[in-house]
Chain A
Amino acid sequence: MRVAVIVFPGSNCDRDMHHVLTDVFKLESQLVWHTDELPKNIDAIVLPGGFSYGDRLRAGVIAAHSPIIAQVKKMAEKGMPILGVCNGFQILTESGLLPGALLRNTSLSYICKWTEIIVKNNKTPFTNKFKLNQRIPIAIANGEGRYYADKETLHLLKKNNQIVFTYAEDVNGATMKIAGVCNKEGNVVGMMPHPERSAEQILNPKDAKPASLIFESLLNTLGVIA
């Protein structure tokens, strides 16, 4: 089982994600530079956090036009589990793989803190080990993390069960406190909070077990495929 972690110029959570996948959850993971070909025998893709292209123009928008995204789209169509975290989520919305957009936080400031999110869809490859409405103590760190979607999109999100996580408190003014969504098929998930910062007990001021279920869900999914 192999996971490709895609590295764009300015990604900065790539090595953290690689560490957690490889050293903590024993998933074989590989850092893939954005101009390289996606490796052939991979089972999942992660777009890590950071500031791809320095957030120039709009967070995630330049990376969304990177050639590797075309390959990611092909894999998404084939049903491969794909997770975008923070800037990775922004890239997924900018590339059209996920609906909605991420706007400046209502505080107009970068926010780095610990909060809780609630699992609203436990059918995705990254949430299938959770109970519905289970709470996850998790770290957030972003300046443009306020999820926004128009009425019509929100209606579809609800109808298709595409809201994956919501915040327990209003941290940034996100529509319906949405913290993460998936595509209609459920295999592509984007989330602003950082599971890779929250899945080791020594880093998590509360409980790291819930956040580690995100990775265990992926293990579970890949186990089924294999």
Chain B
Amino acid sequence: MSLTPQEFDYLEKKIGRKPNPVELQIVAAEWSEHCSYKSSKKYLKTLPREGKRVISGPGYDSGVLDVGDGYVVTVHIESHNHPSAVEPYGGAATGVGGVIRDILSAGTRPIAILDGLRFGDIEKDTHARWLFKNAVRGIADYGNCLGIPTVGGEIEFDKCFTNYALVDVASVGFGKKEKLIQNRADGGDYVVLIGGSTGRDGIGGSQFASDKLESENRSAVQIPDPFIEKLVIEVILEARNQHCIKAMKDLGGGGLSCAISETSDALSVGIELDLAMVHKREQDMSPTELMVSESQERMLVITSPEKLETLKEICTKFHVPFSVVGRVTDDNLMQVKSQNDLVAKLPSNIVANAPLLDRPASMPKYLQAITSIKKPKTPNLSKTLLEMLSNPNIASKRWVYTQYDHEVGIRTVIKPGQDASVLRLDNGKFLSIKIDGNSKHCYINPRQGVMGCFDEACRNVVCTGATPIGMVDHLQFGNPEDPEIFWTFKESVEGIIEYAKHFEIPCVGGKVSLYNETDKGPIKPTPLIGVLGLIEGKPLIPKKAQKDDLLVLVGITKDELGGSEYYEYVHKIVGGVCPAIDMKSSKANQEAILKIAPQDLAKSIHDCSKGGLGVAVSEICITNEIGCSVMLDKVPAENLQDDELLFSESHSRFLLVVDPSKLESVISILQKRGIKHGIIGKFSGSSIVFKNKNKPAASIRVDKAQEKWLNSLGLLVSHG
């Protein structure tokens, strides 16, 4: 793989000569889409990044948010899609490893992992099942060994991911503000490579990820070693405590090429690298191989001459291999030596800043065709509801999260399987986190789809009583050279900006992953949104619903079934109108919930989204092991049929379980704000019953629903 002819000419012009073969590979790695963001950067620059809690600094690989009392939270999100589609175990595991090191490189300890996983139709496609099982095992084996809890995530199955996998990993870090790495360097400082040895794994991984998946290029997949990563974490944090780290960068995509050029460029210094010094696991590696290898569990640290010995001692204590690979220089060049030969000498700012592209975009033709659909005939809704509960997209993900250690670190106050996960922080506050994506909605309407994901993640965090303080995005699309695909990317970015501005939530980090396609075609647009929320007081930890407790629905249910699980899973309809956000009412609803939650007025609050009201009510009944009688005619809605009331995935809705004695206070908060709501149900008995003006619409037993919802996914996966 190499540069395009235009890029080659640009490079030649910039450096005033022809690049040699090693230089060419260094630049090709760094100018790959994966590392350079050359297609997307123009648009990413427009995301709102300012906020009162945002701390920004040069060269941070993660977003930093001030949570008060001298503490910060860091966050980052990445994917490892191509590798996971070829080798799901190693691909997913190293995906965890990579994002963890981004958190570490700010000087904070990783305290949580969340993952978003996407595969083909696992009910029919055994290859998709194999990918799913092994990706989960990869994440479990890696995260568990590190002792970082995997506290949440989301999973989606869709035919568009056939023969492919999206493995997104988000991580959160926590630390003292004063211990953040300052990221500065002076001439004469040492450049130290710490951690795993460099080998021939992951060669050209970033370029592999910057093209569609055609060949199973296994040598481009990295090999995981969580034990080394765990030791590297402890080495780095101890070195940080002993002030041995002036600047730091994780070695990820693009390997040394990327780490050296970006560090040198971000800190406005030069770096002289000696490849002979790099500790290797294989003999006779060529300079190019060493520069582009993506071997895992490596960190690049810049330390002063005074601190070099201490840094070495710390590495030795933990038996972590290291090598002093270079010095910082006062110019702005990256110079690479190999056996006394200078094999590359390039200005870092040229290497680190690929010429950006201005890709053409045009609205996809399919969009017009799919908006009008014929409404399906209403099936037997009791049967349909049970079918929906065993739908792999809706069924409990218990089979997955019980394989993840979600308790280690003893911070996990609200555990996986709830709306958002909540972690306690050392300053007595709580952090709420959720990631959400929805390729089905985003396919039908990329702009409304991504805003919906954003709203859903916010709603989940708000359900725990947390105020959103920051977000990260992960934008995953097919080949950006296709104007129709690029249009969906642009729409998504604009949707995020619109929502972020209205809700004043800064974007503190993100990642773009393009070329997600196989010979069968591109994936559906799949942006993922992660939202962090802060709770200054106590989180709303769900309390058990009891007989006579009431169910209150906040928000309006609309005829928005496009992209719903009901249309796609039950009726095999792709199309229609997908849910859209009414910003004003969405904000008002969230604010009302944030008034109700801290006052202990609700026993639990839940988001109503995938699968609609029918699924949300069923999940509440299943987890509380109690029945509920719901009056569909009390649902605030615009003239809908029963199936639409049950399964529409309209946004901005919340379900509250309320003790009768607290009902008045809850209702008065909602009324005062003019928020549409309904007291739609009462808990009792052992059946979930939906009626419309006393006419039965659907009825299922709680135990039967529980059995379907809890066990379907595990049963499916354990049978092959």
Asked if B372 is an interface residue, CB under 8 A from chain A, the answer is: no
Asked if A109 is an interface residue, CB under 8 A from chain B, the answer is: yes
A202 touching B144 by the CB < 8 A rule? no
Instruction: Choose from A16, A49, A112, A203 the contact partner of B404 (Cβ within 8 Å).
Output: A112
Decide: A33 near B413, CB < 8 A? Known: A12-B146, A112-B406, A139-B407.
Answer: no
A-B CB contacts (within 8 Å), total count: 79
A9 touching B402 by the CB < 8 A rule? no
Residue of A nearest to B426 (CB): A19
Counting chain A CB atoms within 10 Å of each CB, the highest count among B225, B409, B424 belongs to B409
Instruction: Choose from A20, A54, A113 the contact partner of B410 (Cβ within 8 Å).
Output: A20
Decide: A110 near B403, CB < 8 A? Known: A10-B227, A16-B408, A54-B230.
Answer: yes
Asked if A216 is an interface residue, CB under 8 A from chain B, the answer is: no
Tell me the complex Cα distance, A50–B231, Å. 12
A54 touching B407 by the CB < 8 A rule? no
A111 touching B403 by the CB < 8 A rule? yes
B409 touching A112 by the CB < 8 A rule? no
Q: How large is the interface on A (under 10, 10 to 19, 20 to 34, 35 or more residues)?
A: 20 to 34
Contacting chain B: which of A92-100, A118-126, A193-201? Answer: A193-201
Q: Which residues of B contact A89 (CB under 8 A)?
A: none
Decide: A50 near B147, CB < 8 A? Known: A200-B410, A205-B415.
Answer: yes
The 8 A CB mask of A154-195 against B (1 = contact, 0 = none) is: 000000000000000000000000000000000000000010
Residues of B in contact with A (beta carbons under 8 Å apart)? 137, 140-141, 144-147, 225-227, 230-231, 317-319, 401-410, 412-413, 415, 424
Q: Which residues of B contact A33 (CB under 8 A)?
A: 317
Asked if A53 is an interface residue, CB under 8 A from chain B, the answer is: yes
21 contacts between A and B (CB under 8 A): A9-B319, A12-B145, A13-B147, A13-B408, A16-B410, A33-B317, A35-B317, A49-B408, A50-B147, A51-B147, A51-B230, A54-B225, A109-B402, A109-B403, A111-B402, A111-B403, A112-B402, A112-B406, A196-B410, A202-B424, A203-B410
Asked if A56 is an interface residue, CB under 8 A from chain B, the answer is: yes
Asked if A55 is an interface residue, CB under 8 A from chain B, the answer is: yes
Decide: A51 near B403, CB < 8 A? Known: A16-B409, A203-B412.
Answer: no
Tell me the complex Cα distance, A13–B230, Å. 12
In the complex, besides A109-B137, A197-B407, A202-B413, 4 extra interface pairs with C-beta distance below 8 angstroms are A12-B230, A16-B409, A50-B147, A53-B227
Asked if A141 is an interface residue, CB under 8 A from chain B, the answer is: yes
Q: Which residues of A contact B317 (CB under 8 A)?
A: 33, 35
Counting chain B CB atoms within 10 Å of each CB, the highest count among A35, A111, A202, A205 belongs to A202
Q: Which residues of A contact B225 (CB under 8 A)?
A: 54
B407 touching A203 by the CB < 8 A rule? yes
The 8 A CB mask of A196-219 against B (1 = contact, 0 = none) is: 110010110100000000000000
A110 touching B140 by the CB < 8 A rule? yes
Tell me the complex Cα distance, A55–B402, Å. 19
Q: Which residues of B contact A49 (CB under 8 A)?
A: 408
Decide: A113 near B147, CB < 8 A? Known: A13-B408, A56-B227.
Answer: no
Tell me the complex Cα distance, A203–B430, Å. 13
Q: How far is the CB of B108 from chain A (nearest CB, A)?
A: 15
Tell me the complex Cα distance, A200–B424, Å. 12
Tell me the complex Cα distance, A35–B313, Å. 14
Q: Which residues of A contact B147 (CB under 8 A)?
A: 12-13, 50-51
A141 touching B405 by the CB < 8 A rule? yes
The 8 A CB mask of A27-67 against B (1 = contact, 0 = none) is: 00000010100000000000001110111100000000000
Tell me the complex Cα distance, A203–B409, Å. 11
Within 8 A of B (CB), among A2-29: 9-10, 12-13, 16, 19-20
A141 touching B145 by the CB < 8 A rule? no
9 interchain residue pairs of minimum CB distance: A12-B147, A54-B227, A51-B145, A16-B410, A141-B405, A197-B407, A112-B405, A110-B403, A139-B407
Tell me the complex Cα distance, A51–B424, Å. 24
